[in-house]
Structure 1
């Protein structure tokens, strides 16, 4: 009995870190998947900065909030490799800035929305400008959260990230935030990529950060397979959006309907190009046709390429 007990303890000691890493990777890649969803229930394409960020911070109580807000923006820009310039004190700041951050009085904005970011782009590929509003009393805890949104990472996932509604830390980026930003702005990414094109790049960056990359890669492949199955059900009208999107309370029937159409298109592109899934022209045509039937003009245009293969 004593011998078997020792064996069990040794096994637990050996396997404990393995299971811990598996859990950590599963949580991390799940969080990365969730950032690719809009709260309305629609999956999103990748957008990012391709120009210098010129930041104007203005509003109330700037002596209290400006330094922390600027540091949050500088931290995310540095991690992404994007140049950032503070133009707040320039006379023409209002016209030259492409990132506007307003610290508002406490009575402004909705009670359940203490801070908000609006990304502006002519096409869903690159960010042209961004506007942020943060209530004064919430500016400290909002700064890093909104700074991540400014960089184009739009979702509100669960997990250990400042993007979560319940972050464990608000005065600096968490390790997973840094992994996401490095991947988001890596040469492997390009503006307008679909979630199934983005996910492998995000996941590979996370794999590389794990103590045992080979084991993490196996977890990655299982996650891909499970996610594709879930998204096929969602696109078919049988499945649901990620739970974090449901819990936000901001999903809409229209957002989910549009999300099913977009997901059908994204699945078609995944099978057409062989991203996240093995290349399969039959499946590509099936999903692009479904998206086209639901009203996607983009899917209609891509059907010709799919049937020609």
Structure 2
């Protein structure tokens, strides 16, 4: 009887452990996607108007169907209108997204594809440019399509944005979670990572069968992440490991990231976003960021003092 009880208990615990591991990995990916490769946490940027795409360059016709398939996949999840202007007369194209297939020698081997987002402030995407090497255009399509939508990080986990991902012929479940959250009414352009993380987490929780367990795991992740980011902002911790593994983080990026994170922590405590609301802690972090020359923190301190 005793063995049977232990067997039953073990049978119950194993699925719970697997669930926690899988959910935590998903949460980790959602956090990592909010980081730029340079080592700096980012704000939410996204399209607020139609995406008008022009596809051109070396052998572009061979990759157009694949590229449009990827773009339709991401814009459908985001509920953003996509218009192909490639075949229109030049005077009528007025593209705000230019995708160019370039010669195989045009880009570096460690960066076969690149997306550049143009925004006046870190809120709304004004235009975007994508370059993909001819030999890599097929495998880059879904990865760069996610970046086109403003999702800038390269997280680990089951997502087409991961550097470890193999050939991808469609968006994965976590990619769809990111896009739906990124373009949901709750997500505002310019949101800080701590403001954005609960929106992303809620979209992930909505996909889970056991929402009660997911909520508990989310809260644990929030607590752990805030503690890690306080250490990082204080100069004692580090950026997410996946950012370091990219090989593209820089000392300047990480230094600037510490200032930004101090500001983001101040906003988090001020608004009760990811962290509990605490005005004293908010002011402390905002003052730290302000002393490092962070203009956003300086403005926020002025508003708090009024």
Q: Give the alignment partner of residue 247 of structure 2, picking from 246, 249, 254.
A: 249
Alignment-derived partner of residue 201 in structure 1: 199
Cα distance change on mapping 1:124 and 1:93 into 2, 3 Å: farther
Q: Measure how far apart 1:131 and its partner are.
A: 0.3
Alignment-derived partner of residue 259 in structure 2: 261
1:1-309 matches, within 5 Å, as 3-92=1-90, 96-308=94-306
Q: Measure how far apart 1:13 and its partner are.
A: 2.9
Cα distance change on mapping 1:130 and 1:94 into 2, 3 Å: farther
Any gaps of 5 or more consecutive residues in structure 1? none
Count of residue pairs the alignment pairs up: 306
Q: Measure how far apart 1:21 and its partner are.
A: 1.5
**Are the equivalent residues in 1 in contact too, given 2:60–2:100 (CA < 8 A)?**
no
Q: Distance in 2 between matches of 1:110 and 1:88?
A: 27
**Are the equivalent residues in 1 in contact too, given 2:142–2:168 (CA < 8 A)?**
yes
Q: What's the TM-score, normalizing by structure 2? A: 0.97
Cα distance change on mapping 1:137 and 1:5 into 2, 3 Å: farther
Q: Distance in 2 between matches of 1:8 and 1:177?
A: 39
| Alignment deviations for residues 177-229 of structure 1 (CA, whole Å, 9 cap, x no partner) | 00110000000011000000000000111111111011000000000000000
Q: Measure how far apart 1:305 and its partner are.
A: 2.3
Q: Measure how far apart 1:15 and its partner are.
A: 2.5
SS in 2 for 1:260: helix
SS in 2 for 1:209: coil
SS in 2 for 1:119: strand
Q: Distance in 1 between matches of 2:12 and 2:166?
A: 29
**Are the equivalent residues in 2 in contact too, given 1:285–1:307 (CA < 8 A)?**
no
Q: Measure how far apart 1:293 and its partner are.
A: 0.3
Q: Distance in 1 between matches of 2:2 and 2:138?
A: 53
Q: Distance in 2 between matches of 1:255 and 1:159?
A: 24
Q: Measure how far apart 1:34 and its partner are.
A: 0.3
| Alignment deviations for residues 272-308 of structure 1 (CA, whole Å, 9 cap, x no partner) | 1111111111001100000000011111111122234
**Are the equivalent residues in 2 in contact too, given 1:161–1:167 (CA < 8 A)?**
yes
- State the superposition RMSD in angstroms: 1.3
SS in 1 for 2:300: helix
SS in 2 for 1:100: strand
SS in 2 for 1:19: helix
Any gaps of 5 or more consecutive residues in structure 2? none
When structure 1 is superposed on structure 2, of 166-175 and 116-125 the one drifting more is 166-175
Cα distance change on mapping 1:94 and 1:101 into 2, 3 Å: farther
Q: Distance in 1 between matches of 2:243 and 2:189?
A: 23
